[in-house]
Amino acid sequence: MKLYVQKAGTKSANNCFFQSEYEKTWIDGQANCIAYRGSLAIFNSKNEVESLMPYLGPSSYWIGLKKLNASTPWMWANEDAFNNWFKIEGNGTCAFMFKKGISSTSCDDAIKYICSREALCL
């Protein structure tokens, strides 16, 4: 996994972000993040999301937003409610980010993922 360091502008006061090299389903990506003592990326501000986007390249990456079905609200992987401070495109139940925004698709799709971990990064 690739660590985003402070000079790249992707380390906040509370989180470090790690980019996967391999594609996984949402649940398998979350399991791998947990193995690194983290979670699929959980963001504390719109600024955090925007600061990470320039470093994503052409790929899409799972983040820690999921909903049970089309009629339920989005929830973060840590079970905090999502406060709608950015728009999520698509009709899926798992969210991913790419260089131009946030979208959603089936949780069973295999794409790369981004983990976040609080406090100490190394």
* 5 contact partners, CB below 8 Å, separation of at least 6: 11, 121
> What are the pLDDT digits (tens) for 76-89?
999 988 988 888 99
Record the tokens describing residue 82, joined without a space: 């999502």
Confidence of residue 70 (pLDDT cuts 50, 70, 90): confident
Residue with tokens 């799709």: 109
What is the DSSP-derived secondary structure letter of residue 106?
-
Whole-number average pLDDT of the chain: 85
What pLDDT was estimated at residue 30? 98
Structural domains of the chain sorted by starting position, each given as residue range(s) with its CATH number in brackets = 2-118 (3.10.100.10)
Which pLDDT does position 13 carry in this prediction? 53
Nearest to 112 by CA among 55, 46, 43, 50: 55
pLDDT score, position 72: 93
Which amino acid is located at 92 in the chain? G
pLDDT at residue 10, rounded to an integer: 44
Separation of CA 19 from chain center: 9
Reported pTM: 0.85
Q: How confident is the model over 91-96, as a mean pLDDT?
A: 96
At residue 118, does pLDDT exceed 50? yes
Is 65 strand, coil or helix? Answer: strand
Mean pLDDT of 46-61: 86
Please indicate whether residue 10 or residue 22 has the higher confidence score (pLDDT).
Answer: 22
